[in-house]
Amino acid sequence: MSPVRRNIVANAIGSGWTALLLLSFVPLYIHFMGVESYGLVGFFVTLQVLFSVFDLGLTGTLSRELARLSASVETSATEMRNVVRTLEAVYWALAGFIVTALFLAADWIATVWLNANEVPLEIVRMSVMLMGVAIAFRMPYGFYAGGLIGLQRQVLLNGLRIGVETFRNGGGVLVLWLVAPTITAFFIWHALASMIGAVLFRLVLWRSLPSAETPARFAPALFRQLWRYGAGLSGIGILAMLVVELDKIILSKMLPLKEFGYYMLASTLALGINLIIVPIFSAMQPRLTQLVASGDYAGLRRLYHKGCQLMTVLVMPVALGLCFFSEPVLHIWTRDATIAQFAAPLLSLLSIGTALNALMNVPYALQLAHGWIKLALISTAVAVVVLVPALIWMIRHYGAIGAASIWVMLNLGTVLFSLPIIHAKFLRGEFRHWLLADFAWPTLAVLAVVGLGCIFMPVGMGMAGQAAWITASVLGGLLGGALLTPVTQTLFLRKTAA
């Protein structure tokens, strides 16, 4: 098995396990704490993404540098270790800033920003402070995971991720069940689990680096050398964060916390598609970087199209399944007909928007591999400028459904604008190949199978029957898309010939 394929499989297993934890535990969180308290959990998730701007592109820079240095025979172990030591020192300083900022802002967030009705004000304030601790430690373990991705130690990474996420989420449910079913207990546990995760990920990364005769040191000259690339990634990260999270930030202010909880529930399921996206991106980006560094552009082209096809054939069945079967999926998941009825239209729109966003990930990895981030920076900047007034107007007139509609339109515009430019710059003449072979034919097959499954779904089925029907429809869509996708066609023919 090739390193890329092995890493994709490992990432898929890790992401699949994380998805299983998500599907299993979110309904239990709601059961123990209530929908309004889950709104605070949704706000915590939003804050995590919001504070990711303080990553300053360091995670992406670390991943790219370790991938680039590991492909060079002239690289010394000392150089690689100095990169990690230099960037981690800056990262921990940023984590300290996050704790301080949320401690100082906790009272304002609790009294001015959030609209809690059932949760006492003091509990909201304490929860925000605990969010700060949890976020400050969770971000560094993402940083160290980026280093392991750059080293292509993704099997090891996912084994560690499965253990840490099981401990964090499973322990959270046990605390709510056996200790106290309160939002405060939830955040105390998550802060503690994040500390343990950061320590473990740091230890594993340092042990994965090649040994050196001299100790690693903080190198200001090295930081000055890397900061421009990191600053560019940071700019993209900040703007991309705003694009993804502005709807939630504005909704958390304009809607009651309970209604915001419904939106976050739908968003959690839709963004669960990222559990498919991230494994592919994480495996593709360092390998594409190595191919660019070695000048193997024929290999680059082949790997790029394989990645795009794999993204389409895996993402589209799930996204269209969530879109067409949104209400029964939510009802099966939450066991609450009211939540399902309210959140179903939101889930349909958000899942389509997330699928469109998925199409940009391998092309974005191609840009990073060439060190060219100008287009991503410009397109996300334009998106943010348009997004703020559009969201405020749509939410004011149409509520949460307006915000979900904007997510679809935004990602559709990005695909139509950016993809032709990326192909013209790096893979001239390949856009038609991407449009037909990588996207259109497999998507049409998935649409036909899943759409027919929705139309002919029998009425009056129990939850178990609905779950089986939906699963069969999604798997049928996956098979239909795979049969019309060149990379999976080739794999199928090899297996049958053998």
Structural element, H or E, at residue 250: helix 220-254
Between the two ends of the chain, the Cα-to-Cα distance in Å is 16
Six-digit token pair at 100? 């301080």
Rounded to the nearest 10 degrees, the angle between the axes of helix 121-150 and helix 183-208 is 20
pLDDT at res. 66: 79
pTM for the whole structure: 0.66
- Regions of the chain where pLDDT drops below 70: 1-5, 35-36, 52-57, 71-76, 116, 221-245, 489-498
Q: What is the pLDDT of residue 478?
A: 92
Mapping DSSP onto H, E and C, the string for 317-351 reads HHHHHHHHCHHHHHHHHHCCHHHHHHHHHHHHHHH
Q: Using alpha carbons only, give the angle 253, 259, 260 rounded to the nearest 5 degrees.
A: 50
pLDDT on residue 3? 65
* CB-based contacts of 43, cutoff 8 Å, min separation 6: 114, 131, 252, 260, 264
CB 248 within 8 A of CB 46: yes
Q: What are the CA-CA distances from residue 429 to residues 289, 301, 363, 376, 378 (Å)?
A: 21, 11, 15, 21, 23
CB 117 within 8 A of CB 36: yes
CA distances from 7 to 16, 39, 129, 154, 386 (A): 14, 35, 37, 6, 37
Per-residue pLDDT of 364-419, as tens digits, reads 888 888 878 777 778 777 877 887 788 888 888 888 898 889 889 988 988 998 89
Closest CA to 360 of 418, 317, 318, 321: 418
> What 8-state DSSP symbol labels residue 54?
G
Rounded alpha-carbon distances, angstroms, from residue 220 to 82, 83, 225, 231: 10, 10, 9, 16
Tokens 């749509």 identify what position? 394
Give 373-439 as a DSSP string: -HHHHHHHHHHHHHHHHHHHHHHHHHTHHHHHHHHHHHHHHHHHHHHHHHHHHHSTT-HHHIIIIII
Around 252, how many Cα atoms within 13 Å sit in the side-chain half-sphere? 22
255 backbone dihedrals φ, ψ, rounded to 5°: -110, 155
Q: Are the beta carbons of 326 and 351 closer than 8 angstroms?
A: yes
Cα–Cα nearest to 316, from 351, 363, 343: 351
